[in-house]
Structure 1
């Protein structure tokens, strides 16, 4: 198992600047964000120009990684592959294919994405839609030696009422998505707030957990007693404000990281545990983000066996 970090939390930085920090801090791998460079930086980052990626870009990327002794664990483009707007869905597919092509050039084994959801349809009807449109994505990647992996993020902010906006949030649905050929980018934080014990999901899906993300969560049960499980009705300008929980960096929430890492070892996991920093207490400025990544490293590094 290797310790890595997702680059999305440093959206305004170049990949080389991130690599220098990661290497100095002691991270071993990077999960690189490759959203389109649209100028929006709320939840997106573009650290490789995958839409126009060339062999020259690949050589330059490898030179940066070699200089800092890092590897790439995955490229990250988490968007809605079942969006109700078919033009939007087509644009997502096109960029996902660009990400796969770049990963193939670089020899990166995985590209992360979401299943997503058409909010005009039921879960069952979404699954039927997915059966029709998702195999093409898996096949395109597989033909190029790349595995598509899906994160089990609920994406509640994508749904107007805080319901799941990404249909890979539960083990029940993992049977479906892995049956379509996706691997899992397993994240315990999302499982925790929806009431699933993350540790108990590892062994049953060991063969499908290709990559793992390290994100923690802090719960406020008294606020849940007021808002209910699906969170606030009035979220103001922030559709992600559920009101009774928030993401934290590893070590500052309720996830039992020694137990998680131990169970991953028991499952034979040899991939990357990648820190995904979305902690609002350690965000807002670059220095706070960096300190959050340091906290995460201090929490997780002692749990991961060093190679002899």
Structure 2
């Protein structure tokens, strides 16, 4: 098991700079962000639309120099978008991510399932077979597996309802078996999205591990104010809401600053012989906003996770 980070939180740095910093901070892997734009949490650390074998060789040399691996190229967008032109653009870029991953020898591309808000959930599930199976086949032909993260993407809805149909174990089973048993999306498991939905993150993880669908793990924490939940309800505040994510009773934190039991979660991974990456996804507003504060947050996360992900006394390569 390796301790990594998702580079999306470091838009101020180039991939070269991010790799040097991460290695110096004790990280062992980079989940590389590859959005089309390069701002905020839509960061482009790989230009996948113009990615050549020479680019791949340079990236491989960079990773080797800093003792890092790349478990996944990540581009999370709405693959069931209601607008045909926008959906085609998203799919083109996702295919470019697959091409770049294949050229690099990276086994996974992490994305979202998404949702068409103009249709019911049942209609979305039916349309997914037509719209998503070609993407899964495209990736498989190039030796890459597509992963779907379990983020609800409530921010895509004006009222905070799930915008990514991959947020629950029921949906994990559906997307995993899309196109045939075990042939669909593998899972990027992020436990921070589960507690506010009323889902036990440990029980859900055990289920996913039993089915063999966990290919990648993201480490993000959650802080919950139960008194505020009593006031607003599970869907969040209504009066004075500034945006879809302004729920008033929960928020994301770096590991070690929230309520998740990382000792227990990582132990479940060890028991299942998970040998992939646990990559910090930094979306903590307390330790964000600037490069200096963000890197402090990443160090807090690494210090908290390292005793579990890399047991004391173990060194890289041992």
What TM-score, normalized by structure 1, do the two folds share?
0.97
Cα RMSD for the two superposed structures: 1.2
Q: How does 1:179-198 map to 2 (within 5 A)?
A: 179-180=177-178, 181-198=184-201
Once residues 240 and 141 of structure 2 are traced to their aligned partners in structure 1, the CA distance between those partners, rounded to angstroms, is 43
Once residues 237 and 143 of structure 1 are traced to their aligned partners in structure 2, the CA distance between those partners, rounded to angstroms, is 44
Once residues 238 and 49 of structure 2 are traced to their aligned partners in structure 1, the CA distance between those partners, rounded to angstroms, is 38
Residue pair 1:34, 1:49 contacting (<8 A) in 2 also: yes
Write the deviation string for residues 232-262 of structure 1: whole angstroms up to 9, x where unpaired.
Answer: 2356553321111000000100001000000
Residue pair 2:4, 2:278 contacting (<8 A) in 1 also: yes
Equivalent residue in structure 1 for 2:243, among 216, 220, 238:
238
Once residues 162 and 107 of structure 1 are traced to their aligned partners in structure 2, the CA distance between those partners, rounded to angstroms, is 37
Q: How does 1:117-132 map to 2 (within 5 A)?
A: 117-132=115-130
Partner of 2:166 in structure 1? 168
Partner of 1:34 in structure 2? 34
Once residues 267 and 280 of structure 1 are traced to their aligned partners in structure 2, the CA distance between those partners, rounded to angstroms, is 33
Q: How does 1:1-308 map to 2 (within 5 A)?
A: 1-37=1-37, 39=38, 41-180=39-178, 181-206=184-209, 207-234=212-239, 236-304=241-309, 305=311, 306=314, 308=318
Once residues 63 and 240 of structure 2 are traced to their aligned partners in structure 1, the CA distance between those partners, rounded to angstroms, is 41
* Number of residue pairs matched by the alignment: 306
Once residues 193 and 250 of structure 1 are traced to their aligned partners in structure 2, the CA distance between those partners, rounded to angstroms, is 16
Residue pair 1:248, 1:279 contacting (<8 A) in 2 also: yes
Once residues 58 and 40 of structure 2 are traced to their aligned partners in structure 1, the CA distance between those partners, rounded to angstroms, is 27
What TM-score, normalized by structure 2, do the two folds share?
0.94
- Give structure 1 stretches of 5+ with no counterpart: none
